[in-house]
Amino acid sequence: TQLLEQSPQFLSIQEGENLTVYCNSSSVFSSLQWYRQEPGEGPVLLVTVVTGGEVKKLKRLTFQFGDARKDSSLHITAAQPGDTGLYLCAGRGYGQNFVFGPGTRLSVLP
């Protein structure tokens, strides 16, 4: 069974600070996604990474896929209150269903 772990579980920071969220597994994934979810809504896809070592940037967000395709990180620069939400990583092995991490709940205080 493929499992994804995320750390930290909770993070509360001040506006303007930087932060990094981690997603780890002992399994290899064909691709890995990051989502952000707000209360009562469905997760919204932020990025997909498919190549080991890949780095993608989305404005102030930087995503990295580990060389072995078992882990990923999300770095936010100069966090803003609008970044508040539940960040989920999800992976999919070849021919298998999506597996989601438990999420990191981020709160950015003004």
Q: How far is the CB of 18 from another protein (least distance, A)?
A: 26
Tell me whether residue 66 or residue 103 sits nearer to another protein (CB atom).
103
Query: Which of left, alpha, beta for 12 (phi over 0: left; psi -120 to 50: alpha)?
Result: beta
Q: How far is the CB of 76 from another protein (least distance, A)?
A: 21
Q: How far is the CB of 40 from another protein (least distance, A)?
A: 7
Tell me whether residue 56 or residue 92 sits nearer to another protein (CB atom).
92
Cβ–Cβ under 8 Å, residues 98 and 30: no
Interacting residue ranges for another protein, rule: CB under 8 A: 30-31, 33, 35, 40-45, 48, 50, 88, 90, 92, 94-103
Tell me whether residue 1 or residue 14 sits nearer to another protein (CB atom).
1
**Bridge partner list, 76:** 19, 61
Q: Which residues of 48-71 are buried (b: 16+ CB within 10 A; e: fewer)?
A: ebeeeebeeeeeebbbbbbeebbb
